[in-house]
Amino acid sequence: MITVYHYMVLSAILFSLGTIGVLTRRNAIVIFMCVELMLNAVNLTFIALSSHLGNMDGQVFVFFIMTVAAAEAAVGLALMIAFYRNRESIDVEEFNLLKW
Amino acid sequence: MEILQQLFFYLVALVSVISGFLVIRCKNPINSAISLVMTFFCLAMFYVMLHAPFMAAIQLMVYAGAIMVLIIFVIMLLNLGSEVVGRYRHAVTGAFIASGLMFFQILILIKKGDVSTVPGAINAEVVETVGHTELIGKALFTDFLLPFEIASILLLVAIVGAVVLAKRDV
């Protein structure tokens, strides 16, 4: 029997993978994709619990998370294009203007 | 039938974890993006298994379709090559320790937290007879009407922001 715990452990694994990616990679777009992976892990938890509890609220939350992810993709990629124009690179090591 | 379901779950879970690993390890951003699409497909399969077919369709259209096309478009527009992965060893070690600790913490939370076993009003039969889209629509336009309107404003702001950022010399 596939219980809700199976789905939650799987989403924990995916979330941890996304965290490793965010902390180790240096390409801003790859970091962005890892953030998307973490968002999707959370979505899986929401839908698994919503299906387990017999309640629609979790799935509506996933709907809003997807809206925010779409807005984030548009603005984030526009920021990367603007940054690439200035520095000819989107390596996060170059993002040091505010570094002390 | 039961064993078949379990087999399918573990197969799709394995594929999703492997492709998630490839997202963080591939040197070329395009390969990472393709692996991410694979992960999205696996998650859509899970949504179907969880009796949420509408969310699976939205997952494929919005994530695997729109967002990934945007990401791949930007990767190709900027002509990004391969990068040196893991230049700093201490950073990689720190990342593995941090996310490993977080993973164990989540596991402990999952094990300790007792999810209610009382089933709610919406089960597989209700989804089958009423339709998942109708249930989502009812929830979205009655209980969640204000968040829905705020989400539309958020999308409008994102459109304007993206155009302004990409157009002007920032």
DSSP per-residue letters across A47-69: HHHHHHHT-SHHHHHHHHHHHHH
Determine the number of helices (DSSP H) and then strands (DSSP E) in chain B. 8, 0
Subunit contact B6:A32, Cβ cutoff 8 A = no
C-alpha to C-alpha distances, B168 to A66, A76, A89, B9, B149, nearest whole angstrom? 28, 15, 18, 48, 29
Q: State the fold for domain A4-94.
A: Helix Hairpins (1.10.287)
Nearest to B80 among A5, A29, A86 (CB): A29
Nearest to B24 by CA among A35, A70, A11: A35
Average of per-residue pLDDT across B57-68: 92
Q: Report the 10 Å Cβ neighbour count for B84.
A: 8
Closest-CA distance, B76 to chain A, in angstroms, reads: 11
pLDDT of residue B119: 76
- All residues of chain B having their beta carbon less than 8 Å from the beta carbon of residue A58 are none
B108: in domain: no
Q: What is the mean pLDDT of chain A?
A: 89
Subunit contact A53:B95, Cβ cutoff 8 A = no
Q: What is the mean pLDDT of chain B?
A: 88
The span from the CA of B76 to the CA of B87, in Å, is 24
Subunit contact A66:B157, Cβ cutoff 8 A = no
Question: Which CATH number fits the domain that encloses residue B1?
Answer: 1.20.120.1200
> What is the model's pTM?
0.91
- All residues of chain A having their beta carbon less than 8 Å from the beta carbon of residue B12 are none
* ipTM reported for the complex, 2 dp: 0.92
B59 lies in which domain range?
1-83
Summarize pLDDT for B73-116 with one digit per residue, the tens. 999 988 777 766 556 778 888 889 999 999 999 999 988 887 77
Asked whether residue B1 carries a pLDDT value surpassing 80, the answer given is no
B9: in domain: yes
pLDDT of residue A45: 94
Nearest to B62 among A49, A66, A84 (CB): A66
pLDDT of residue B153: 95
End-of-domain residue from the set B59, B83, B107: B83
The span from the CA of B31 to the CA of B19, in Å, is 10
The span from the CA of A81 to the CA of B77, in Å, is 9
% chain A with pLDDT above 90: 54
The span from the CA of B15 to the CA of B22, in Å, is 10
Please report how many Cα atoms fall inside a 13 Å half-sphere around the Cα of residue A63, on the Cβ side: 23
Nearest to B21 among A10, A17, A71 (CB): A17
Could you give the number of structural domains in chain B? 2
End-of-domain residue from the set B83, B112, B131: B83
Best residue in A1, A2, A7 for a mutation probing chain B (most B CBs within 10 Å): A2
pLDDT of residue B114: 78
- All residues of chain B having their beta carbon less than 8 Å from the beta carbon of residue A55 are 120-122
B69: in domain: yes
Asked whether residue B170 carries a pLDDT value surpassing 90, the answer given is no
pLDDT of residue B45: 94
Nearest to A53 among B59, B110, B116 (CB): B116
B42: in domain: yes
